[in-house]
Amino acid sequence: MPAIILLSFALALLGAPATAAGKRPNILFIFSDDHAEAAISAYGSHLAKVAPTPHLDRIAREGAIFHNSFCANSICGPSRACILTGKHSHANGFLDNNNSRFDGTQTTFPQLVQDAGYQTALIGKWHLKSNPTGFDHWEILPGQGAYYNPDFLQMGGGKKRFEGYCTDIITDKAIAWLEGGRDKSKPFVLMCQHKAPHRAWSPAPRHLTLFDDIEMPEPASLFDDYGGGRSKTLKEHAMGIAGHMYWGHDMKFHGSKSQFPEHFLSGIANMSYPRMNEAQKRQWDAAYGPKNEKLIAALESGELKGDDVTRWKYQRYIKDYLRCIRAVDENVGRVLDYLDDSGLAGDTIVIYSSDQGFYLGEHGWYDKRWMFEESLAMPFLIRWPGVVPAGAQSQTLIQNIDYAPTFLDIAGAEVPAAMHGRSLVPAFKNPAAPPEDWREAIYYSYFGERTHSVARHDGVRTDRHKLIFFPTTDEWNLFDLEKDPGEMRSVHAEPEYAGTLADMKVLYTRQRATFGVSSATVPQPRLGEGWWKKRHAEKVKAAKAGGYELLFLGDSITHSWENGGKEVFAKYYAPRKTLNLGFSGDRTEHVLWRLLNGELPPEVDPKVAVLMIGTNNTGHSMQEAGETASGIRAILDLLRDRRPEMQVLLLGVFPRGVGPDDPKRKRNGEINAIAETFADGDKIHYLDISGAFLADDRTLPKAVMPDALHPNPRGYAIWAAAMEDKLAEFGGWEKVAPPAGD
């Protein structure tokens, strides 16, 4: 065999996807916000001809376009968190934009590629509330950011305002970093993340009158009636072009008070306008003023009415949206030119994607969130010279949870087993067919939030069918995407789909099991309960003060180390500097939420954690033992990820109920039988101290647990003594002797 073939064979075995032997490629990840596939001409939609995107199309032409690319949770923050962590939302903790804050201490791909020798930078929209971690350089928009004369948060603290249009400025900054901001001896990952074309769709001055002379084609379902057996929650949406467009904010009239309240909502003014300089304001007014006056006259005269008002709103919306995209496309062109001119193009992978899709009037909507195709789909274009065949079209099912493993694979770094996604490198090398052993379906979950009134739902999508479950109304919807690509009819109740429905439900259950999705694993706060919220705030503050060697995690039984267990605690644990994170009434999902939301900051780096949780999962709903155990598993996974060196003492759930046949006692025993298997012989240790509490006939004596659930002071003394050997060993502490006479 010639040496050259042997060499390439060896490289293939190593899985090194470098463009040239020994050299790892750069990754330029260009990412926009709310860019629907239908607004990229390479995807070929009704808008492709009237609003072409030649520079984006160039990436597809010189590389590949993925037609079955999806997000895991169709909103801004959650999609970004999925990308960074390679995990579904319930596991990375960023469930929604209202209540979540990204825990940047968890494992993310930027940290890992940085460790692998890459330079990392992020410029533009971030929207995860906490500051970025794992980047050599970042400069981000605060929150949603502004289209005109935007502020950027600076790495060293504070923010700076820059004159100009956001999409142009982000590109300027990205090119400046490529040119002079990085260590050129290292490969790089640059995430260039645009605000555009996010609501409220404010175009650049140069594009304000683009498309003025044409009528945009309407989607077929602009006047959807939400029938066809689809979930009754569809009608409850607050994201309709007909009913939910704001006079000032969305439609670009001056003031926040609607002149026609029957057609336009009042309350939010155009937020771009006050940020503009005088010249920008003049251009803006020159573009919108005459068109706005014409609309007002037509409404006043009655010339425009009924559905035609909705059509007008659609035109205003879609043109502004596409104008914003024009600037994105031009700026993609600028970056591609820079790569050519600088000689970087040959060694640089270029990916274009967006955090989710968007409704461009389909189903009468703007916005995203639903698991329907338009917002589930994420555009995905990739150019990788020498690896991705030019002009390739792929139908492989890919998802944003795959990006992190992909980038790690490209960087030659190990992909953590806890990541849910898979490397797409094999799919890039041969886009024409799915890689061997590829997924049958993608899993999606939207957790519901106040904004836009979209009900919680989750589901699975194969290459042909989509199954959605709406838990608030207990409804299933099934779509045949081949026969009904517009998803106008749910066939879940149709006899000829009974087999498909059954198969899809099996897939749904299997996917949820694979990713550990259950009510016990989806992080959940109890912020509606004042005492809980207050205790959480106090514990976050205490945690930030740091200096703890021992961590207690659990529910009321742990909480009461501060009450019934106080004296025992003072003797055993106060000297060890212990942080008690027990919260009365908590279940596994609450512990997860707390750990993801400030109770485990970098300042808390204990030697040992003691975890005892689950009895409320049993007590509140007699949850299946396997489900509760999956919640315990999720907490252990989180602790392993954040504190790989910490010893974890997992206690079997304490016995409850007076007699051994108490159903809740039995259920806790079933949980323990599973939890015992979580010990890993390294850092996770399982200990069941039930025997120390129980009488010889296995009844639970009132003398230690008067309510057959919570220990009294004597019970706490028994608890402390029973785990002292292990605890002292793991923490390297001197053993505390039990009180004389016990």
Q: Which residues within the stretch 268-297 sit at the binding site for Ca ion (CB under 5 A)? A: none
Structure tokens at 544: 């930030």
Give CA separation, 579 vs 234, 521, 636, in Å.
46, 23, 18
Asked if residue 182 lies in contact with residue 121, where contact means CB atoms within 8 angstroms, the answer is yes
Pick the closer one to Ca ion by CB: 94 or 497: 94
CA 693 from centroid of its chain's CA atoms: 43
Which of 375, 672 has the CB closer to Ca ion? 375
* Residue linked to tokens 């706005």: 292
- Cβ proximity of 265 and 244 under 8 Å: yes
Catalytic residue among 55, 207, 457, 710: 710
77 vs 181 by CB, closer to Ca ion: 77
Locus of tokens 């930027």: 110
Nearest approach, Cβ of residue 376 and Ca ion (Å)? 13
As measured in angstroms, the least distance from the Cβ of 321 to Ca ion is 13
Question: Whole-number minimum distance, CB 34 to Ca ion, in Å?
Answer: 4
Least Å from the CB of residue 470 to Ca ion: 22
Kindly tell me which residue out of 76, 116, 419, 608 binds Ca ion, with binding defined by CB under 5 A.
Answer: 76
**Binding region for Ca ion (CB under 5 A) out of 27-35, 186-194, 440-448, 658-666:** 27-35
**Letter for the amino acid at 64?**
A
Question: Helices in 676-739 by DSSP H: which ranges?
Answer: 690-693, 713-731
Which amino acid belongs to residue 269?
Answer: A
* Among positions 27, 33, 94, 222, the unique one binding Ca ion when judged by CB under 5 A: 33
Beta carbon of residue 238, minimum distance to Ca ion (angstroms, whole number): 17
Q: Which is nearer to Ca ion, 76 or 639 (CB)?
A: 76
Q: In 3-state terms, what secondary structure has residue 472?
A: coil
Q: Taking Cα atoms as reference points, which of 282, 249, 283, 278 lies closest to residue 266?
A: 249
Number of residues forming the site for Ca ion (CB under 5 A)? 4
CB of 92 to Ca ion, least distance (A): 16
Closest contact distance (angstroms) between CB of 145 and Ca ion is: 12
Q: According to the 3-state scheme, what is the secondary structure of 137-179?
A: EEEECCCCCCCECCEEEECCCCEEECCCEHHHHHHHHHHHHHH
Number of other CB atoms surrounding residue 154 within 10 Å: 12
Stretch that binds Ca ion, among 70-78, 495-503, 543-551, 634-642 (CB under 5 A): 70-78
**Sequence-separated (6 or more) residues with CB below 8 Å from residue 624:** none
Which stretch in 123-131, 270-278, 353-361, 492-500 sits in contact with Ca ion by CB under 5 A? 353-361
Least Cβ distance, residue 76 to Ca ion (angstroms): 4
Question: Annotated catalytic residue: which of 172, 556, 605, 641?
Answer: 556
C-beta of 62 vs 355, nearer to Ca ion: 355
What is the closest distance, in whole angstroms, from the C-beta atom of residue 368 to Ca ion in the complex?
6
- Give CA 89 to chain center in angstroms: 5
Whole-number CA gyration radius for the chain: 28
Question: Among residues 203 and 431, whose Cβ is nearest to Ca ion?
Answer: 203
What is the torsion angle, in degrees rounded to the nearest 10, for the CA atoms of residue 266, residue 271, residue 277 and residue 281? -40
Part in contact with Ca ion (CB under 5 A); list of ranges 168-176, 347-355, 444-452, 631-639? 347-355
Stretch that binds Ca ion, among 33-41, 137-145, 212-220, 542-550 (CB under 5 A): 33-41
- Give yes or no for residue 34 binding Ca ion (CB under 5 A): yes
Which of 3-11, 69-77, 325-333, 653-661 is the region at the interface with Ca ion (rule: CB under 5 A)?
Answer: 69-77
Q: Are 149 and 162 in contact (CB under 8 A)?
A: yes
Using the contact rule CB under 5 A, the part of the chain among 31-39, 281-289, 497-505, 657-665 near Ca ion is 31-39
* 620 given a catalytic annotation: no
Cβ proximity to Ca ion, 454 vs 591, nearer residue: 454
| Interface map 398-427 toward Ca ion (x if CB under 5 A) | ------------------------------
Burial class of residue 481 (count of CB atoms within 10 Å of its CB; 0-12, 13-18, 19+):
middle
Residue number of the CB closest to Ca ion reads 76
Q: What is the DSSP secondary structure assignment for residue 551, as one 8-state letter?
A: E
Residues 6+ apart with CB under 8 A from 583: 526, 532, 535, 536, 554, 555, 556, 559, 590, 591, 594
Q: How far is the CB of 580 from Ca ion (least distance, A)?
A: 39
> Could you say whether residue 96 binds Ca ion (CB under 5 A)?
no
Give Cα 5 distance to the centre of its chain: 43
Tell me the closest approach of the beta carbon of residue 358 to Ca ion, in angstroms. Answer: 8
Q: Which listed range, 72-80, 90-98, 217-225, 277-285, lies at the site for Ca ion (CB under 5 A)?
A: 72-80
Residue 710 known to be catalytic: yes
Helix (H) or strand (E) holding 580: strand 578-582
Q: For Ca ion, give the closer residue by CB, 145 or 564.
A: 145
Confirm or reject binding of residue 329 to Ca ion (CB under 5 A). no
Residues composing the chain? 742
Retrieve residue 400's tokens. Answer: 């944003």
d(CA 510, CA 504): 10
Residue 583 near residue 555 (C-beta atoms within 8 A): yes
Nearer to Ca ion, 125 or 207 (CB): 125
What six digits make up the tokens of 493? 């109740």
Put residue 385 in one of left, alpha, beta given phi > 0 → left and psi -120 to 50 → alpha.
beta
CB of 377 to Ca ion, least distance (A): 13
3-state secondary structure of 227: coil
Q: Which is nearer to Ca ion, 34 or 139 (CB)?
A: 34
> Catalytic one among 183, 340, 707, 725?
707
- Interface with Ca ion, residue 355, by CB under 5 A: yes
Residue 378 or 507 with smaller CB distance to Ca ion: 378
* Cα distance between residue 266 and residue 187, in whole Å: 50
Q: How far apart are the first and last CA of the chain?
A: 77
**Contact predicate 249/270, CB 8 Å:** yes
Measured CA distances, 675 to 125, 618, 634 (Å): 41, 14, 11
Say how far apart CA 451 and CA 454 lie, in whole Å. 8
User: Rounded distance, CA 56 to CA 44, Å?
Assistant: 12
556 assigned to active site = yes
Stretch that binds Ca ion, among 25-33, 294-302, 595-603, 657-665 (CB under 5 A): 25-33
Q: Select 92 or 524, whichever has its Cβ closest to Ca ion.
A: 92
CA dihedral 172, 125, 375, 202 (to 10 degrees): -60
The binding site for Ca ion (CB under 5 A) comprises 33-34, 76, 355
Residues carrying an active site annotation: 556, 707, 710
